[in-house]
Amino acid sequence: DAKTTQPTSMDCAEGRAANLPCNHSTISGNEYVYWYRQIHSQGPQYIIHGLKNNETNEMASLIITEDRKSSTLILPHATLRDTAVYYCIVRATTGANNLFFGTGTRLTVIP
Partner 1 sequence: SAVISQKPSRDICQRGTSLTIQCQVDSQVTMMFWYRQQPGQSLTLIATANQGSEATYESGFVIDKFPISRPNLTFSTLTVSNMSPEDSSIYLCSVGLTGGSYGYTFGSGTRLTVV
Residue ranges that bind partner 1, judged by CB under 8 A: 32, 34, 36, 41-46, 49, 51, 87, 93-94, 97-104
CB closer to partner 1 out of 13 and 103: 103
User: CB of residue 13 vs partner 1: minimum separation in angstroms?
Assistant: 26
User: CB of residue 37 vs partner 1: minimum separation in angstroms?
Assistant: 11
- The CA distance from 109 to 111, in Å, is 7
Are 22 and 72 within 8 A, CB to CB? Answer: yes
Positive or negative: CA dihedral 89, 91, 97, 102: negative
CB closer to partner 1 out of 94 and 111: 94
